Amino acid sequence: MSADPFDCALDLLRRLNPKHTASHLNGLIELAPDLTEDLLSAVDQPLKVRRCKQTGRDYLICDYNRDGDSYRSPWSNQFDPPLDESGLGGGAVPGERVRKMEIGANEAFDVYRELYYEGGVSSVYFWNLDDGFAGVVLLKKASPQGGSSEGVWDSIHVFEASERGRTSSYRLTSTVILSLATKGSLLGELDLSGNMTRQLEQDLPVENDESHIANIGRLVEDMELKMRNLLQEVYFGKAKDVVGNLRSIGSLSEGQRDRDAQKELIGSMAR
């Protein structure tokens, strides 16, 4: 039995340098064109920033606010470049109720962005589902240029809200793409880049549409706190530990002697 090509493509992207996911993705699409749609929707890439022509505010673009070659601004609800009005439906925009929630969520996450990121750009996009709605919360922050080190953080939180009377069931998939690089005369060059994904499901009470925004806000806030701790552990703890496993700064035989001596000491105390 041969392995599923789509799974193999994802496995490959999980192994190859995450800093160059975009070019690996292009290569995979070239090799297996029939996987194009599935790969583009399954693989998260760093977000791009665009300025809204109507409001002058920056927003983030991704597959979720795209229609053809145009992207919808969350601030104006307009597509850029404008879609041909005579075309089919004038682009995918959420229904009136969901757009109202989308406006509220963009305002709420703009506050969230300022409090946690102290800069950067945020965008929230909602769309209708048969039994509720879904959306994506996007956050991006790049460290100021010109420092000795640089970093870029991209958060992509995709959720589905299934409404069941007074409760709603939320399914959240969160990815953070974090790239860090630094250099120096003693250090040479160092690049520490990657992405991590986590999922969770939770049922929460809903009184009105505003409680949806509060629920999604709390879910994203808790998830980002968890993921920030995880990233810290993997990027700075795990990576350093593995380097220490490759090469020991201290002498290995002395380390072994110390461990043997300690074992003996513990043994003698136990007797």
Partner 1 sequence: MASHKEIVSSFIEGAPPGELTDVIADIKALTIHEPSLVKGLGPAFEKYNEEQFTTVKLPGGSQLVVVSEHSALGGGRYFDVESSTSFEFDHATRKASAVQSYVLEGAQSDLVKSTIKALSPYVKEHFPDAAYGAYPIEDDSKVAVIIVGNKYSPKNFWNGRWRSLYVFDPSTGILEGSVKVDVHYYEDGNVRLLTNKPVSQPVPSGTGAGIVREIATTEKKYQEELNRSFTNLSEGAFKGLRRQLPVTRQKIEWEKVASYRVGQDIGGGSSRR
Residue 216-255 contact track with partner 1, rule CB under 8 A, x = bound: -xx--x--xx--xx-xx-xxx-xxx-xx-xxxxx-xxx--
| Closer by beta carbon to partner 1, 25 or else 83 | 25
Q: Are 201 and 170 in contact (CB under 8 A)?
A: yes
Nearest approach in angstroms of CB 269 to partner 1 is 29
- Check binding of 178 to partner 1 (CB under 8 A): yes
Footprint (CB under 8 A) of partner 1, residues 92-131 = 107-108, 110-123
**Which residue among 40, 187, 261, 265 contacts partner 1 (CB under 8 A)?**
187
Could you give the CA distance from residue 138 to residue 83 in angstroms, rounded to a whole number?
Answer: 23
Of 137, 142, 159, nearest in space to 65 by CA: 137
H or E element: which one contains 189?
A: strand 188-205
42 sits near partner 1 (criterion: CB under 8 A): no
Stretch that binds partner 1, among 10-18, 126-134, 157-165, 261-269 (CB under 8 A): 10-18
Of 43-62, binders to partner 1 (CB under 8 A) are 49, 51, 55-59
Instruction: Kindly tell me which of 86 and 253 has the beta carbon lying closer to partner 1.
Output: 253
Counting contacts by CB under 8 A, is residue 214 touching partner 1? yes
The site string for partner 1 over 140-159 (x = CB under 8 A, - otherwise) reads: -xxx---x-xxxxx------
How far is it, in rounded angstroms, from Cα 171 to Cα 120? 26
Q: Work out which of 188, 268, 269, 270 binds partner 1, going by CB under 8 A.
A: 188
H helical segments located in the chain: 5-15, 21-31, 36-42, 96-117, 209-232, 239-246, 252-270
Distance, in Å, from the CA atom of 106 to the CA atom of 73, rounded to the nearest integer, reads 11
Q: Which is nearer to partner 1, 148 or 268 (CB)?
A: 148
Its sign, for the CA torsion 47, 49, 55, 57, is positive
How far are the Cα atoms of 32, 183, 190, 236, 249 from residue 186, in angstroms, in the given order? 44, 8, 11, 19, 16
Name residues contacting partner 1, limited to 252-271 (CB under 8 A): 252-253
